Amino acid sequence: MTVLRLRGFEIHKALLDPDAQRAVLDDVRKVVKAAPFFRPVTPGGQKMSVRMTSAGKYGWMTDADGYRYAETHPNGQVWPAIPDTVLAIWDQLTGLDRQPECCLINYYAADAKMGMHQDRDEADFRWPVVSVSLGDEAMFRIGGQKRGGKTDSVWLQSGDVVVMGGEARLNHHGVDRIRAGSSKLLPKGGRINLTLRVVE
């Protein structure tokens, strides 16, 4: 396994082997069955290109009321627990006693992308965010803490895990595009991204 460091982010290449990827995917499917994907809308009324759901005490939401964490799915049910296979990745890479309270699950179809943004809806930025890639490759762009300016990019493959912490915790980041058909993990293609966050 190779660890790349780009603008303060640690990118653990091929952390998850194919068997581990399939095990995580199986658990994610159970979450999605209980809490189906939905397409969120930004406060400005724009429909996002990704579909999302969550596991844990909280799920991340966006709608006309703003960006926030909520204790229930839009259908009113509580979120499923974060799978142990996913928590094990957090434990391995952070070594923290503190456990994440949210696992945001985003599904990117071939035409989906994510604009440059900061993860800043959490109460305490001292805790890292851990991001797991499954399925098709994604062009991941990283900038600084101020919007605009120079950025760097890297292709994330299935099984790669990114740790966003320390001084880089509030760096802007996004996904420019998906390389359709680059992975066979998801039978219908696309990419699943899991991000583990301490919310409280």
CATH number at residue 8: 2.60.120.590
How much of the chain is helix, strand and coil, in % rounded to 5?
Answer: 15, 40, 45
Query: Mean pLDDT of all residues in the chain?
Result: 96
pLDDT surpassing 80 at residue 1: no
Q: What is the pTM of this model?
A: 0.96
Res 65: pLDDT: 86
- Domain count across the chain: 1
**Residue 128: band (very low, low, confident or very high) from pLDDT cuts 50, 70, 90:** very high
Res 63: pLDDT: 87
Domain that holds residue 175: 2-197
Q: Which has the closest alpha carbon to 33: 79, 76, 65?
A: 79
Cα separations (Å) of 17 from 1, 71, 134, 161, 164? 10, 32, 11, 11, 21
**pLDDT tens digits for range 20-70:** 999 999 999 999 999 999 999 988 888 999 999 999 999 999 888 889 999
Q: Please give the span between the terminal C-alpha atoms of the chain, in angstroms, as a whole number.
A: 32
| pLDDT > 70: percent of the chain | 100
- Whether 103 and 89 have beta carbons less than 8 Å apart is answered as no
Q: How far apart are CA 78 and CA 16, in angstroms?
A: 29
Q: How far apart are CA 127 and CA 143, in angstroms?
A: 19
